[in-house]
Chains A and B, each alone.
Chain A
């Protein structure tokens, strides 16, 4: 009887041991690696979700900033969105000056402006109208820069003006 009990105890111990070995084996080679993978992918997912959140917030603030910039610089942007029209510029210049001539110096593909040679006569012997012309150029539909060399020469009762103008091209974007 005692021998049978002893056998049962040993068998029980062996079964427990086999069970523990099986469980340990599964834990070591199946469960723990899977838990690690799960944790890693969960962390990755959370970090990418927070990144998306940040980027969405950034997008919102950028959109607001862009809108604000567009509204604040509406007039400036309009100057870059219009093709230069030579006839319009001559008509505009004739409000202040006479015999206006505008000649493109050379085709510049690389720079963002065209260079023009500008010549005209004042309407009288005073350069006042010429100064008014320079003042009003900032309100012209295109962006125009007056450049050196500038020549002012008295011819009869008028002043002959010769200078260089940089007229900025339309933005292609």
Chain B
């Protein structure tokens, strides 16, 4: 068999299909490229988030250490003021106590506690104590008791006054 016609190459895809395939490929590459770009961006963001998270932890720890230091200073200042006030109060209460004692009475011993005061001393007369020292003591303390003993050598009464302070419940 012999043909006078030259054999015509018949492509698998015709021109239209080729164009379509090229167009689809370009579109697919574009879409896929955009997708991968988004994927790489979000991966970069995620790794940045991880790094920044560790920075956040560092900053939080440092800030918390600064806060602790500030709190510690505030506590120290508060303690200092409290102690200064307490020492001052103690001194003033002793000074006030001495100022209550009239000239007729001589103190020989003072035993102070937070809720109790024991005073020992000498008075010329019981009345001097009862009129001059007992009233102010009774106004400060809730209970005030006194015992007198006459000292014949000194010619004075030795007294022991025990005073209690009880807070009302």
Contacts and interface: CB of A to CB of B under 8 A. Distances in A.
A151 interface: yes
B36 to A, nearest CB: 8
Given A73-B76, A148-B112, A15 B20 contact: yes
B45 A55 contact: no
A26 B31 contact: yes
Contacts of A55: 56, 59-60, 63
B100 interface: no
B127 interface: no
Given A19-B27, A34-B35, A127-B98, A52 B48 contact: no
Interface string B98-140: 1000000001111111100000000000000000000000000
A138 B48 CA distance: 55
Interface in B65-116: 66-67, 69-70, 72-74, 76-77, 79-80, 83-84, 86-88, 90-91, 94-95, 98, 107-114
A10 interface: no
B80 A79 contact: yes
B38 A59 contact: no
Contact of B31 (A11, A23, A77, A131): A23
B49 interface: yes
A119 to B, nearest CB: 14
A37 B56 contact: no
A131 B38 contact: no
Contact of A59 (B31, B41, B59, B110): B59
A42 interface: yes
A143 B62 contact: no
Given A55-B60, A59-B62, A11 B67 contact: no
Contacts of A154: 107-109
Interface string A84-128: 000000000000000000000000000000000000000000010
Contacts of B20: 15, 19
Given A52-B52, A145-B83, A58 B42 contact: no
Contacts of A76: 73, 76-77, 80
Interface of A: 8, 11-12, 15, 18-19, 22-23, 26-27, 30-31, 34-35, 37-38, 40-42, 44-45, 48-49, 51-52, 55-56, 58-59, 62-63, 65-66, 69-70, 73, 76-77, 79-80, 127, 131, 134-135, 137-138, 143-146, 148-154, 168, 171, 173
Interface of B: 16-17, 20, 23-24, 27-28, 31-32, 34-35, 38-39, 41-42, 45-46, 48-49, 52-53, 55-56, 59-60, 62-63, 66-67, 69-70, 72-74, 76-77, 79-80, 83-84, 86-88, 90-91, 94-95, 98, 107-114
12 contacts: A26-B28, A40-B42, A41-B46, A44-B46, A62-B63, A73-B77, A127-B94, A138-B84, A138-B87, A151-B111, A151-B112, A154-B108
